[in-house]
C-alpha cells in the first residue's frame, strides 16, 4: 500500500536532516529572542476565510475542509500565520509583552496538483514578529531568513521585495489595473480572466507569457503609494543596504494572501523550476484586529522545508550516530542477566544495540561489525559462571574479559577516550 498522493513518508535517514534544521533554527532564533509556538493542525474554517480571503486560490480551491461529528466546519491548516494570530488573540499574548517574537515548524495541507516543490501535506518553518510597526522589524525578519538559508547551505537565492501599500492605496490601484486590463481581457489566460472580477492583483503573479507581456505596460502599484508607505519601504531598503543584503525591487510582487500590507518579499531559487519561491512573507498590520484582537502590527515569513531540503540535503554533512556498544548474548541465562548490564549502559548514557537473534556467535559478530559499533559486549554461559563480561574492540580487534563489577570503570575510560 502506497501513501496518499501528495504525501510522503519521512524515513529515519531523512529525519536526521529534519532534526538538524529544527535544532539549528531553535539556536539561531533564540539569539534574537524568538520563542517556539505550536498551534493545532485543526482550526475552524472561518479562521482562514476571514484571514486569507474568500477570493484567494487557497480558500476557493485548496483547503481541506470538512464537517466533524459535531457539525462544525473544520479545516486542516493551509498556512501558519493565521493560526499563530488566532493563538495570539485567544491567549491574549498582547497582555504579557508589547512585542512577541514567535516561530513555528509544522505540517500544512493544501489540495494542489503534486509536483516538484509542491505536496498536499508539506511543512513550513515560519516566524512572526508581532507588535512593531518599525521598519526595523521588517528588516529583522528578512535578515533572519537569509541567516537560516545560509546556515543550511542555501546560498544562491534572490530576494525580491515590494511595497503593496495600505488597503486604500491598493483599492485605487486595483481600479486602475482593471481599467487597463479590461481592454485585453480576451488575450489574458483563463485564470487571469477569472481574477479580473475576484482578485485582480493576483494577475500580476501570472506565469503566462502573453499575460506578462500585457502587464509590462500596466500601471504600477508604486504610483499609488502615499508618504507613509513610501517612507516605510525606503527605510527597509536602507537597513538592508546597511546589512549588505542584496535585493531586487519587483513592483509586480503582491503575494497570494489578502492580509498583507506595506512590505512583501519572496526569496527565490532557480533549482525549483516553476515553484521557485523558497521563502515568502510580509507585513500584516490589520490581521490581528480583524480576528478580534487589538490593533497590532506584525511581520513574518514562511520557508517550505521540503523545497529547502530538495536543494540542500546533499550539502548538509550530518553525522549519523552509530551504536557505541553492540551486545551479544549466548543462551537463555545470558538473555536474563543482560538487562542489569543494559541498565548500567543507560546510566552512563552510552548508546547500544542489543542483538535480538538466537544465532551462533559468528553470525552475531558479523552483525556487530556491520553496525559500525566501537565495542562488542559478549555475555555467554562461561562469562556468567566466571561473573565476567567479554569486551571486543572492533576497530583494533583487541579482546579482554573484565569482572562485572569493573564495567563502570571501563565505561568511564571509554567516555574519556571519546
Joined together, the cell numbers standing for residue 236 give 527597509
Binding residues for L-histidine: 79-81, 110, 124, 128, 255, 259-260
CA distance 268 to 265: 10
The verdict on residue 65 lying in a domain is: yes
* Same structural domain, 229 and 360: no
* Same structural domain, 346 and 269: no
The verdict on residue 319 lying in a domain is: no
Range of the domain at 346: 325-417
* Same structural domain, 17 and 159: yes
* Same structural domain, 136 and 178: no
β-partners of residue 261 are: 283
The residue among 380, 292, 246, 297 whose CA lies nearest residue 98 is 297
CATH of the domain at 139: 3.30.930.10
The verdict on residue 234 lying in a domain is: yes
* Same structural domain, 36 and 86: yes
The verdict on residue 368 lying in a domain is: yes
* Same structural domain, 161 and 189: no
Binding residues: 79-81, 110, 124, 128, 255, 259-260
The verdict on residue 320 lying in a domain is: no
Q: Is 63 within 8 Å of 110 (Cβ atoms)?
A: yes
Q: Is 129 within 8 Å of 299 (Cβ atoms)?
A: yes
**pLDDT score, position 273:** 67
* Same structural domain, 193 and 238: no
The residue among 286, 261, 288 whose CA lies nearest residue 47 is 288
For residue 27, what are the contacts with CB-CB under 8 A and spacing of at least 6?
none
* Same structural domain, 199 and 112: no
* Same structural domain, 392 and 375: yes
Q: Is 371 within 8 Å of 323 (Cβ atoms)?
A: yes
The verdict on residue 357 lying in a domain is: yes
Residues of the chain with pLDDT under 50: none
User: Longest C-alpha distance within the chain, in Å?
Assistant: 96
The verdict on residue 4 lying in a domain is: no
Among 312, 346, 371, the domain boundary falls at: 312
* Same structural domain, 160 and 214: no
* Same structural domain, 398 and 340: yes
Domains of the chain: total: 3
The verdict on residue 317 lying in a domain is: no
Among 154, 188, 221, the domain boundary falls at: 221
For residue 231, what are the contacts with CB-CB under 8 A and spacing of at least 6?
none
CATH of the domain at 412: 3.40.50.800
β-partners of residue 162 are: 264
**pLDDT score, position 391:** 96
pTM of the model: 0.89
Q: What is the pLDDT of residues 97-145, one digit of tens each?
A: 999 999 999 999 999 888 777 899 999 999 999 999 999 999 999 999 9
**pLDDT score, position 46:** 92
The span from the first CA to the last CA of the chain, in angstroms, equals 44
Phi, psi dihedrals of residue 369, rounded to the nearest 5°: -65, -40
**pLDDT score, position 257:** 65
* Same structural domain, 298 and 238: yes
Among 221, 237, 252, the domain boundary falls at: 221
Amino acid at each position: 500500500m502506497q501513501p496518499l498522493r501528495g504525501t510522503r513518508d519521512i524515513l529515519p535517514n531523512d529525519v536526521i536532516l529534519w532534526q538538524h534544521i529544527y535544532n539549528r533554527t531553535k539556536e539561531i532564533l533564540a539569539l534574537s529572542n524568538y520563542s517556539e509556538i505550536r498551534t493545532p493542525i485543526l482550526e475552524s474554517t472561518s479562521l482562514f476565510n476571514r484571514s486569507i480571503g474568500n477570493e484567494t486560490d487557497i480558500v476557493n480551491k485548496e483547503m481541506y475542509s470538512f464537517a466533524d461529528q459535531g457539525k462544525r466546519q473544520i479545516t486542516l491548516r493551509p498556512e501558519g500565520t493565521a493560526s499563530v494570530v488566532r493563538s495570539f488573540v485567544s491567549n491574549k499574548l498582547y497582555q504579557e509583552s508589547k512585542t512577541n517574537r514567535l516561530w513555528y515548524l509544522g505540517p500544512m495541507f493544501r489540495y494542489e496538483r503534486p509536483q516538484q516543490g509542491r505536496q498536499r501535506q508539506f511543512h513550513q518553518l515560519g516566524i512572526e514578529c508581532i507588535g512593531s510597526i518599525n521598519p526595523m522589524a521588517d528588516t529583522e525578519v528578512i535578515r533572519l531568513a537569509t541567516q537560516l538559508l545560509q546556515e543550511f547551505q542555501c546560498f544562491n537565492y534572490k530576494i525580491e521585495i515590494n511595497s503593496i501599500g495600505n488597503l486604500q492605496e491598493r483599492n485605487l490601484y486595483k481600479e486602475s489595473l482593471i481599467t487597463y486590463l479590461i481592454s485585453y481581457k480576451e488575450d489574458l489566460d483563463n485564470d487571469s480572466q477569472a481574477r479580473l472580477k475576484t482578485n485582480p492583483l493576483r494577475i500580476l503573479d501570472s506565469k503566462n507569457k502573453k499575460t506578462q507581456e500585457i502587464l509590462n505596460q500596466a500601471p504600477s502599484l508604486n504610483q499609488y503609494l502615499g508618504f507613509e508607505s513610501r517612507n516605510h519601504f525606503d527605510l527597509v531598503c536602507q537597513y538592508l543596504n546597511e546589512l549588505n543584503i542584496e535585493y531586487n525591487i519587483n513592483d509586480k510582487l503582491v503575494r497570494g494572501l489578502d492580509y498583507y500590507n506595506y512590505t512583501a518579499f519572496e526569496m527565490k531559487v532557480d533549482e525549483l523550476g516553476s515553484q521557485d519561491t523558497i521563502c515568502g512573507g510580509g507585513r500584516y498590520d490589520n490581521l490581528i484586529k480583524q480576528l478580534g484582537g487589538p490593533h497590532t502590527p506584525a511581520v513574518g515569513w514562511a520557508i517550505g522545508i521540503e523545497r529547502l531540503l530538495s536543494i540542500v540535503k546533499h550539502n548538509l554533512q550530518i553525522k549519523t550516530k552509530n551504536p557505541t556498544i553492540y551486545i551479544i548474548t549466548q543462551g537463555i541465562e545470558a538473555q536474563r542477566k543482560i538487562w542489569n548490564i543494559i541498565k548500567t549502559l543507560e546510566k552512563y548514557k552510552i548508546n547500544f544495540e542489543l542483538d535480538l537473534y538466537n544465532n551462533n556467535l559468528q553470525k552475531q559478530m558479523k552483525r556487530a561489525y556491520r553496525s559500525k559499533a566501537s565495542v562488542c559486549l559478549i555475555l555467554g554461559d562461561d562469562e556468567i559462571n566466571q561473573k565476567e563480561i567479554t569486551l571486543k574492540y572492533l576497530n583494533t580487534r583487541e579482546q579482554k574479559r573484565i569482572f562485572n563489577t569493573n564495567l563502570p570503570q571501563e565505561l568511564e575510560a571509554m567516555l574519556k577516550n571519546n
